[in-house]
Amino acid sequence: MNFLHRQYETAWKLTDVHLAGLTTDECLWRPARSGLHVQQDRDGHWRADWPDRESYDLGPSSIAWLTWHVGFWWTMVLDHSFRNGTLTRDNVTWPGTADATRQWLIGLDRQWRAVLRDLTDETMQSTRRTRWPFTDRPFGDIVAWVNIELTKNAAEIGYARFLYAVR
């Protein structure tokens, strides 16, 4: 279990590096004509695109979409593993600014750390809490998946920030 905690710490440090100083302009910038992004609806909520497939021809995602994606899957894991599990993708919107997004993700980090502190070896081996994004696997697989997904998304955010900086 300690190795998963250490791995998470590394993933979060990478994420924190790429969130520091992030601006709303960077978030809303589109690196190409096509790619996953967010749009503001009539009610002022920022809704994320959802791909019907995963392929390179979709184009690169915006930072707004990437940060929404982190918040989406993390919120879903917390809700489905430790709450009532009724949350859906449509319930998760992008906060609308870089500052609000940073606070949202920092809040999810705090919630996740609290969860990790309380996990026992028995819980990590049990499938009881494993309800999203997969089932019938030890909860330790969810913890490992969070680490990988966070690292992947942090790297994508960082790469998009490099592109923005030299646009």
Enumerate the domain spans of the chain.
2-165
Directed axis angle between helix 2-19 and helix 139-165, to 10°?
A: 20
Q: What is the pTM of this model?
A: 0.96
DSSP, res 60? P
Q: What is the DSSP letter of 56?
A: G
| Residue 46 pLDDT > 90 | yes
Q: How many CB atoms sit inside 10 A of residue 119's CB?
A: 17
Q: Cα–Cα distance between 75 and 88 in angstroms, integer?
A: 10
Mean predicted confidence (pLDDT) in 111-115: 97
pLDDT above 70: percentage of residues in the chain: 100
Identify whether the C-beta of residue 132 lies closer than 8 Å to the C-beta of residue 81.
yes
Taking the C-alpha atoms of residue 151 and residue 155, their distance in angstroms, rounded to an integer, is: 6
Res. 2 pLDDT band, cuts 50 70 90: confident
Between CA 132 and CA 129 the distance in angstroms is 9
Q: What are phi and psi of 137, to 5 degrees?
A: -135, 155
Domain 2-165: CATH architecture, name and number where available: Up-down Bundle (1.20)
Q: What is the pLDDT of residue 83?
A: 96
59-87 average pLDDT score: 97
Q: Is residue 16's pLDDT more than 90?
A: yes
What's the pLDDT band for 111 if we cut at 50, 70, 90?
very high
pLDDT average, residue stretch 104-114: 98
For 139-158, the pLDDT digits (tens) are: 999 999 999 999 999 999 99
Whether the pLDDT of residue 11 is over 80: the answer is yes
Is 90 exceeded by the pLDDT of residue 138?
Answer: yes
Yes or no: say if 105 and 94 are a contact pair by the CB < 8 Å rule: no
